[in-house]
A and B are shown apart, each in its own frame.
Chain A
Amino acid sequence: MSSPRFRAALLLAPAVLLLAPAARAADEGFMQRPTTVQHRRHALSSTNELAAFFDFSVKNKLTEHFGGTLVYSRNFGEQLALELLAGGGAGRLTGLVGSIRDQAKLSSATPQADLEDAGALVATGQLGLRWAPVYGKLNLSAEIPVHFNFYLAAGAGAAYVQYNSILACKADLAPGASKCPASPGFQSSNAPTMAFNVGGGFRFFLTESLSARAEVRDVMFPDKFNTGVILKSAASNPGTAAPSPGITHIPLIFLGFAWVIH
């Protein structure tokens, strides 16, 4: 009844009976959290990176933008990077502006304010930080693994902006005229100004060195427009700069590729 073999079996049986379902449960995934993404396949730490983007604006009211941007990054770790952004392109007025100008009563002698947020972004250069708190992996069609990270970015620097007047002609209107002649057209001026950006995006790792990136950045700069403009004689009576013109927001979508130099 109490042989050593029997006692050993008696002790072992409960242990393995407990162990087997536990291991089975772990195998079934109920006890063990999957940890696929706890170890990164694509390392960015201590690397340099160069990215090229095509960018375009998505919320076009008075202005629209498209162009290209280069971003050089120094990745300090897997999550944090310093980035230098330089972009430029065509910032222009939308078709809505033409419609507004066509129907505006430019012969008015009543002082009035010009429209806000008519500044078109010509170029910008900014220094910023990028933080990538999310690293993940997804499967496409159940079999194609794609590693990605999600990042937030912010920066500050300078921009070169074309400030447009929507309603003020460069020349006073001729008596009886109600339209601004195509030449010299409407007032505008180019000026450098400070600029900021905040945004976020996704990086999809294609190879060790190549990534596809898609991001949204809100590029901001101080607005500038005049109040007290007498439209029929806007050249002579251009009014004064609005004391608190606010900030113009240009939400841009960036699509491009990044090359990581290991």
Chain B
Amino acid sequence: MEKATTRKAPARFPALGALAAWALLCAPASIARAQDLGAEEGTPAPGTTAPEKIAPAPKPAAPIEPAEPAAPAEPSAAPAAGPTDEAAAPAAAPEPAPVAPVRGGSLDPLSGVRLGPSGRHQIAHVIARRMERGAGKHELAVTMPVQVNGKFTEHLGNGLEYRFHFREPIAIGAGGTYFWRGVESGFTEDELINKAKQQPYAADAVLLQWEGHAGIELAPIYGKFTLVDAKVMQFGMYLGTGIGAAQTRVQLRPEQASTTTGGGHPRTYGDTGLRPTGYFDIGMRLFMGQRFALNLEVRDFIYSDQVTQINGCNAQDLKNLDAAGANCRVKDFLDKSADGAIAQDLVKEPSSSVLHNVSFIGSLSVLF
């Protein structure tokens, strides 16, 4: 019986034996790769404990490829095992033909690239593998732009932005913003109008009521950081550009509170029409897990405006609103006489300008 048992055991579990052998071979290889992944990461800063270099993984009993010894020239280019890292090649892979050993490794006779001890190519990735990936994902963001370069104007709004990341560093998208606060600045109202009795040219103080755009985004920079040495966060930096259209208007009168001598009135505006826009932006996307991201960006909305009509009324119409042409929307003036007079003053000297509305935009986005 004993003899029979010893004969039958290998025959009964050939699959299990093969699986165990594969697993035994695979596990240390994978562990070695995982250790390599953290080799650079675990390296202390100079002057603290040890020099930053990659300790070669101990060669295990199984015939796996160890990590390449530390590269003395560029310690930062540490091998954070990537998809092309052949350090984790299958253990059963045949060894290539030996190449001439050189200092720090050996060189590929064809490409001149330094090879690992076994003669295979090794690719050292600067940054360890991305945890949060955007490729193939849709991104929907709620934005909040705040104008930061307002000399004559102030803008604050909310918007929606959609992007599709069809490649890791490339996305296309579209979005729009409604500026629920688009007014002449305190400097314009309090200093120029009230004290100096002057106002900027109409084209220099054109306000955005809403805008829509479509564009492309490139994200060539990827990195990560620690926040107070505790939390590791990953981020990408991106550049974007696009075109769109915006509804514009000019402020006619500032808000006036009610007094004992007269009633107040809200800010009054005059429509200056739909205008083409363009934008450039630069931003940083902080990944918060796989689904959420915080975007911080600076965007320059560029738009040209030539103010020759207000509420569809040209200078001739504004001279006498009672006899204005059909295109002149007299009813859109809150106070025909007061606002009409200011509008007439604004279009009396037709002005045009290329405006830059530089906004800081914070947004929270969900990726799906």
On whether the beta carbons of B41 and A36 are closer than 8 Å, the reply is yes
Contact A134 B46 (CB under 8 A): no
1/0 contact string of A1-35 vs chain B (CB within 8 Å) = 10101100110110011011001101111001111
Interface of A is mostly: mixed
B77/A17 in contact, CB under 8 A: no
Contact B224 A61 (CB under 8 A): no
Contacts A27-B30, A100-B198 hold; do A145 and B126 have CB atoms under 8 A apart? Answer: yes
Which residues of B52-88 are within 8 A (CB) of A? 52, 75-77, 80-81, 88
**Is the beta-carbon distance between B221 and A262 smaller than 8 angstroms?**
no
Interface size class of A (residues with CB under 8 A): 35 or more
A43 within 8 A of B: yes
Residues of B within 8 A of A78 (CB): 229
Q: Is the CB of A34 within 8 A of B224?
A: yes
A16, B24: Cβ atoms closer than 8 Å = yes
B256 close to A (CB within 8 Å): no
- Give the interface segment out of A65-73, A83-91, A136-144, A233-241: A136-144
Partner of B20, one of A12, A38, A148: A12
Among A100, A136, A145, the residue within 8 A (CB) of B196 is: A100
- Given known A-B contacts A34-B80, A59-B151, A41 and B45 have beta carbons under 8 A apart: yes
- Taking residues whose C-beta sits less than 8 angstroms from the other chain, chain B's interface range is 35 or more
For the complex, what is the distance from the CA of A19 to the CA of B23, rounded to whole Å? 8
Q: Separation in Å of the A196 CB from the closest CB of chain B?
A: 20
Q: Are B226 and A38 in contact (CB under 8 A)?
A: yes
- State whether B30 touches A26 (Cβ < 8 A): yes
Which of B131, B195, B220, B234 meets A112, CB within 8 Å?
B195
Binds B, one of A113-121, A154-162, A171-179, A185-193: A113-121
Q: Which residues of A contact B257 (CB under 8 A)?
A: none
| B27 with A19: CB separation less than 8 A | yes
Determine whether B232 belongs to the interface, using a CB cutoff of 8 Å to chain A: yes
Contact of B48 among A43, A105, A143, A167 (CB under 8 A): A43
**Cβ of B131 and Cβ of A33 under 8 Å apart?**
yes
Residue of B nearest to A116 (CB): B191
Given known A34-B128, A115-B196, A138-B223, contact A43–B46 (CB-CB < 8 A): yes
- Judge whether A1 and B131 touch: CB under 8 Å: no
Please name all residues of chain B whose beta carbon is closer than 8 Å to the beta carbon of A105 when the two chains form the complex. Answer: 197
The residue in A27, A36, A79 that gathers the most chain B C-beta atoms within 10 A of its C-beta is A36
Q: Does B5 contact A (CB under 8 A)?
A: yes
How distant is the Cα of A227 from the Cα of B239 in the complex, in angstroms? 47
Q: Are B26 and A3 in contact (CB under 8 A)?
A: no
The answer to the question of B16 belonging to the interface, with a C-beta cut-off of 8 Å to chain A, is yes
What residues of chain B lie closer than 8 Å to A26, measured between beta carbons? 30-31, 34, 37
Whether B224 lies near A37 (C-beta < 8 A) is yes
Q: Which of B30, B44, B225 is in CB contact (< 8 Å) with A137?
A: B225
A46–chain B nearest beta-carbon distance, Å: 10
Residues of B within 8 A of A139 (CB): 126-127, 221-223
Residue of A nearest to B49 (CB): A39
Select from chain B the residue with minimum beta-carbon distance to A146.
Answer: B223
Q: Is A58 an interface residue (CB 8 A)?
A: yes
Q: Is the CB of B34 within 8 A of A27?
A: yes
**A78–B40 CA distance with the chains assembled, in angstroms:** 20
Please name all residues of chain A whose beta carbon is closer than 8 Å to the beta carbon of B128 when the two chains form the complex: 29, 34-36
B33 in the interface, Cβ–Cβ < 8 Å?
Answer: yes
Q: Mark B325-338, 1 if CB is under 8 A from A, else 0.
A: 00000000000000
Closest 3 CB pairs of A and B: A136-B225, A138-B223, A23-B30
* 27 contacts across the A-B interface (CB closer than 8 A): A16-B23, A16-B27, A32-B38, A34-B37, A34-B41, A34-B128, A35-B38, A35-B41, A35-B42, A35-B128, A35-B232, A38-B226, A41-B76, A43-B46, A78-B229, A79-B229, A100-B198, A105-B197, A113-B195, A114-B195, A116-B190, A133-B228, A135-B226, A138-B235, A139-B223, A140-B221, A145-B127
Q: A26-B34, A37-B226, A39-B41 are in contact. List 11 more A-B contacts (CB 8 A).
A: A3-B9, A10-B16, A17-B19, A20-B23, A34-B127, A38-B41, A38-B226, A38-B229, A42-B45, A58-B149, A145-B77
